[in-house]
Amino acid sequence: MNIGRAGIATAAACLLAISACSSGTQPTEAISAPQAAIDAAKASALEVAGGKEIGGKVTMLGVLGGPELDAFNAVLAPFEEATGIDVQYEGTRDFAAILQTRVNGGNPPDMVSTPAIGEVSALAAKGDLENLRDVIGDDVLNANFSKSLLDTGSLNGELFGIFDQVNLGGLVWYDPKTYKGPTNPASWDELQQWARSEESAGTSPWCVGLESGAASGWPAADFIDEILLRQAGPEFHERWRNGQEPWTSQDVKTAFETYGATVAGKMAYGGTTTVLSTNFAKAANPMFTSPPGCYLNQQATFMGGIIMDSFPDLKAGTDLDFFPVPDFNPQFPGIRSISGEIIGVLTTTPQSAALAKYFATPEAATLIAATGRWLSPNTNVKPDAYADPFLKKASQVLADAKATQPLGNSLMAQTEVDAFWKAALDYTKNPDQLDAILANVESAK
């Protein structure tokens, strides 16, 4: 047992050394918001709490973790300081299971923050969520959010969720130093033409990665969603996500096939097996090898941060940039898709009401923008609030958009979303079985 004791002693010594070398507990990522913005947020937090430090606590269940959680906590910090309220945020990837169990078991969180809007709307249908119009007030809501965003978070006229952070989808990421194709293509066909010429020349143009643990397939599903929106038009898209158009309809089929053209044959780096096996966060890695294995990665705004994390020496703009996915259909130009997280209240307490109101203020929204991770859905946030160059560009794209629609799959019930993700994987693996695959999803509705 001497070896054992020596081992324990060594391990303990190492841990002490590491902790001593690091400088104690401190927030691992401070946001780069100007002090004025933080102070403004504190002031408005105090205001929504009724002008005094009411203290107490509010529990919030969400999905964030890692640096995202650090950023979110930094947005919450001014609120906590000004009102004395302790915000207990718990992030888990098992969100649906935990939420459902705790609601059914009589121990629900006070608030939720999640991208699974369909999941939360199912709870709203059961009456478990408070109407935010009562909690926050119509005038404040209308002054800060667009009608379409408010409608997305509503069920039967009751507002169950407001967006606090938004990602712009439908972007194509590329390395300006190595990519020689069109950076502002007039149409999808023009881009794919270049892609096909690359393929016949022997290189794969697209970098695709669909693996994501339990949620594998979502990158393809999001892209198909976007294609459907812009190819078949917002009205069809809305009917489809509400379940009024079947999955087996021709428009949906065409959208799948349009996506399929990016992974067929040698269009995607490494072929189908690689596409299915590669984690979405590593999908863009081959862009930076020499010679590059592929050139284009279709993904939303958050991909910028992920790529910069993997390759810390990259410079935004010179080594990495994006252009919005070009139009698929001249009938529906300039449409952009967004996804994001909504905040909902299950139990109204003075603390949870204050926090909900805080998220509706432009000051809190400015802090969200300053984190450099997300776009803010608040119409009052100015584009120069974004220090991150990618987000600044993305907010410009959003401002110039002719129409903005939320992605359909975030609004569907989780069973349908799971079936959609699985269908994307199955279709990638077996493109000739599209009809059967779509019929399968339809039966999961």
Torsion of CA 6, 12, 14, 17, to 10 degrees: -140
Q: Which is nearer to other proteins, 157 or 312 (CB)?
A: 312
Q: Which is nearer to other proteins, 201 or 214 (CB)?
A: 214
Torsion of CA 34, 37, 38, 44, to 10 degrees: 180
Q: Which is nearer to other proteins, 199 or 327 (CB)?
A: 199
Cβ burial, residue 295 (10 Å; 0-12/13-18/19+): buried
> Where would I find the beta strands (DSSP E) of 12-161?
57-62, 86-91, 111-114, 154-155, 158-159
Minimal distance in Å, beta carbon 354 to other proteins?
Answer: 18
Spatial separation of the C-alpha atoms in residues 36 and 176, rounded to whole Å: 36
Minimal distance in Å, beta carbon 371 to other proteins?
Answer: 13
Q: Which is nearer to other proteins, 22 or 250 (CB)?
A: 22
How many CB atoms lie under 10 A from the CB of residue 47? 16
Minimal distance in Å, beta carbon 50 to other proteins?
Answer: 25
Q: Which is nearer to other proteins, 92 or 380 (CB)?
A: 92
What are the two backbone dihedrals, phi and then psi, of residue 339, each rounded to the nearest 5 degrees? -135, 165
Minimal distance in Å, beta carbon 73 to other proteins?
Answer: 8
Query: Residue 111, SS3?
Result: strand
Q: Which is nearer to other proteins, 292 or 362 (CB)?
A: 292
Q: Which is nearer to other proteins, 215 or 387 (CB)?
A: 215
CB 389 within 8 A of CB 317: yes
CB 264 within 8 A of CB 208: no
CB 277 within 8 A of CB 445: no
Q: Alpha-carbon torsion 331, 337, 343, 346, what sign?
A: positive
Minimal distance in Å, beta carbon 117 to other proteins?
Answer: 15
Minimal distance in Å, beta carbon 431 to other proteins?
Answer: 16
HSE (CB half, 13 Å, CA atoms) of 265? 13
Minimal distance in Å, beta carbon 59 to other proteins?
Answer: 5
